[in-house]
Amino acid sequence: MNENLDYFGTTVNIAARVQKASLGGDIMVTDEIYNDHATTELLSGRAHVHERLEIEIRGLSGTRNAHRITPRF
């Protein structure tokens, strides 16, 4: 908007809601990040637990997919 960066738009709103679903000791990511090739490579061969969640994003209709990745040491 007005050729200025928008640090408070939909992207930040989604990131805040996804992060809010964290239980601590986990990594929360959106579908786009989880399904990215680089993420797949990073997680392959590493012990972790994956949980797919549907979360509501205030101000947006419907739910969005999020993923909880909990490393296992």
Is 7 inside any structural domain?
A: no
Gap between the Cα atoms of 30 and 34, Å rounded: 6
- What is the span of the domain harbouring residue 39? 24-71
Contact, 63 vs 23, CB < 8 A?
A: no
Structural domain includes residue 1: no
Residue 2 pLDDT: 60
**3-state secondary structure (DSSP) of residue 49:** strand
Tens of pLDDT, residue by residue over 15-32, are 988 999 999 999 999 999
Q: Is residue 19 part of a domain?
A: no
62, part of any domain: yes
pTM of the model: 0.81
Q: Is the predicted pLDDT of residue 8 greater than 60, yes or no? A: yes
Whether 8 maps to a domain, the answer reads no
Is 43 inside a domain boundary?
yes
Identify whether 66 is part of a domain.
yes
Domains held by the chain: number: 1
Q: With contact defined as beta carbons under 8 Å apart, do 50 and 33 qualify?
A: no
